[in-house]
């Protein structure tokens, strides 16, 4: 069922691997022309324009953009107790991990009277985008809101598409998750129009713009984030979700098959990739995938993703080559099913998150591992990180020199300024210690 890429007997150079490995992705540039008018219309027309587009795309129109608190309270009260407990446990675990990520303020003393202090200041106001399409994602509320809260963000707004079957408001499970997290500002708008409204706000509707937008979405959401990133900060341009599984002959083919299937369930563009030096395992996993994928309720979506060009089985000569392939692929999620999984994990340099051993599957990380599930895709894990408490913090240096400390270094500063042909820089130093004519 899964296509094969046989790299046995070939060199695992970076250049070859970047062209040989299966890779999903979306051409954000191709939709910018469609998205730009939406962003401009919302910039000019505010909430009314956002609601107009929502009515066009989602076939519903709430009375207002901001969800009434009563709706959020009702959603919390109506939540299935088992789902509520699952959400609360996830919040607790994610909060513990992200609380431990907080960096500490520190001061460096360079000389008597000369010090530099680095402080970590939270972004003031953040917009958290929570998609609503193939599935309902209360987990995305948790993964975005908790690190922002732990960073000390003062103001949070969640934007999620209006749903016709729920009276034009976001899905009640999304609203309930917001309520359990203490997020009381929720906007019933999605897509590119939501991103634009978050960036520009609406003075008449008393919808304040944000300073940063985070959270995954479809290609139109991603394009809108690209268009407004000169106005606000964004976390990343997320592509389709992906899993790579690095496995040797000791792996359980049924476990590996289900993990590949579970990621394919997200989207028809999702990538599921097995990297192995065992042809016997490859055959067994392929057979198990073929036998089991149709069992899931989302079988059609799963099948399209697994048969797509972005998914497949990569065969390599040995474990060393498998590790090289995994590092070159730089998966959003990397599972390691090997006899010595911890030793292999120690050699991984590029992955959004690494799941070690058979009892650390990706769905655990999606909900309740404590880690964040908003991760870099499309190979961007080679140079970027997943969402964390750090995402919502700005490192700011506070420079504090007294007169003696400045005088001690002044000659070096003046000489540097002269070398760069910026004499006024040097004069700004010299005027503090001598009369300039």
Instruction: List binding-site positions for substrate.
Output: 241, 263, 266, 333, 366, 420, 425
DSSP secondary structure string, 391-432?
Answer: GGEEEEEEEEE-HHHHHHHHHHHHHHHHHTT-HHHHHHHHTT
CA pair distance 247, 280, nearest whole angstrom: 11
DSSP three-state, residue 214: strand
CA 53 remoteness from chain centre? 25
317: Cβ–Cβ under 8 A, 6 or more apart, which residues? 7, 8, 9, 277
- Residue numbering of the annotated binding site for Zn(2+): 263, 266, 366, 425
Half-sphere exposure of 223 (CA within 13 A, CB side): 21
Whether 333 sits among the annotated catalytic residues: the reply is yes
Among 98, 333, 337, 373, the active-site one is 333
Contact (Cβ atoms closer than 8 angstroms) between residue 142 and residue 181: yes
* Dihedral sign, Cα of residue 359, residue 360, residue 361, residue 366: positive
The tokens for 187 are 């906007």
Query: Using only C-alpha atoms, what is the Rg of the chain?
Result: 25
Contact (Cβ atoms closer than 8 angstroms) between residue 270 and residue 264: yes
- Residue numbering of the annotated binding site for NAD(+): 129, 193, 218
- Residue numbering of the annotated binding site: 129, 193, 218, 241, 263, 266, 333, 366, 420, 425
Among 185, 242, 303, 332, the active-site one is 332
At 353, give phi and psi (nearest 5°). -150, 145
Alpha helices in 156-218 (DSSP H): 172-181, 191-200
Catalogue the active-site residues: 332-333
């Amino acid at each position: 069922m899964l296509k094969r890429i046989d790299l046995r007997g070939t060199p695992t150079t970076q250049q070859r691997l970047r062209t040989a490995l299966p890779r999903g992705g979306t051409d954000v540039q191709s939709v910018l022309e469609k998205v730009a008018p939406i962003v401009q219309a919302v910039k000019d027309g505010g909430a009314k324009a956002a609601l107009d587009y929502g009515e066009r795309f989602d076939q519903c129109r709430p009375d207002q953009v901001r969800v009434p608190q009563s709706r959020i309270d009702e959603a919390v009260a109506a939540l299935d107790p088992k789902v509520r407990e699952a959400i609360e446990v996830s919040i607790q675990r994610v909060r513990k991990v992200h609380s431990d990520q907080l960096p500490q303020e520190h001061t460096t003393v360079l000389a008597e009277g000369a010090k530099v202090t680095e402080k970590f200041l939270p972004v003031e106001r953040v917009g958290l985008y929570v998609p609503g399409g193939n599935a309902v994602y209360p987990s995305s509320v948790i993964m975005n809101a908790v690190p922002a809260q732990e960073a000390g963000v003062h103001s949070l707004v969640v934007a999620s598409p209006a749903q016709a079957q729920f009276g034009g408001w976001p899905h009640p499970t999304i609203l309930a998750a917001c309520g359990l997290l203490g997020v009381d500002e929720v906007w019933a708008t999605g897509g590119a129009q939501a991103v634009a409204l978050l960036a520009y706000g609406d003075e008449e509707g008393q919808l304040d713009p944000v300073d940063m937008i985070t959270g995954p979405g479809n290609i139109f959401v991603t394009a809108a984030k690209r268009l407004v990133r000169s106005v606000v900060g964004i976390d990343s341009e997320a592509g389709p979700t992906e899993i790579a599984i690095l496995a040797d002959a000791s792996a359980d083919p049924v476990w590996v098959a289900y993990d590949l299937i579970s990621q394919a369930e997200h989207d028809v563009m999702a990538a599921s990739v097995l990297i192995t030096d065992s042809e016997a395992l490859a055959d067994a996993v392929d057979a198990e995938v073929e036998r089991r994928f149709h069992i899931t309720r989302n079988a059609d979506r799963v099948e399209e993703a697994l048969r797509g060009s972005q998914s497949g089985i990569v065969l390599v000569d040995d474990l060393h080559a498998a590790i090289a392939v995994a590092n070159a692929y730089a998966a959003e999620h990397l599972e390691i099913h090997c006899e010595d999984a911890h030793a292999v994990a120690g050699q991984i340099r590029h992955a959004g998150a690494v799941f070690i051993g058979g009892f650390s599957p990706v769905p655990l990380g999606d909900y309740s591992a404590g880690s964040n599930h908003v991760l870099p895709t499309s190979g961007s894990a080679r140079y970027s990180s997943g969402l964390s408490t750090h995402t919502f913090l700005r490192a700011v240096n506070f420079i504090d020199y007294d007169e003696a400390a400045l005088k001690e270094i002044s000659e070096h500063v003046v000489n540097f300024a002269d070398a760069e042909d910026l004499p006024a820089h040097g004069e700004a130093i010299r005027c503090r210690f001598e009369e300039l004519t």
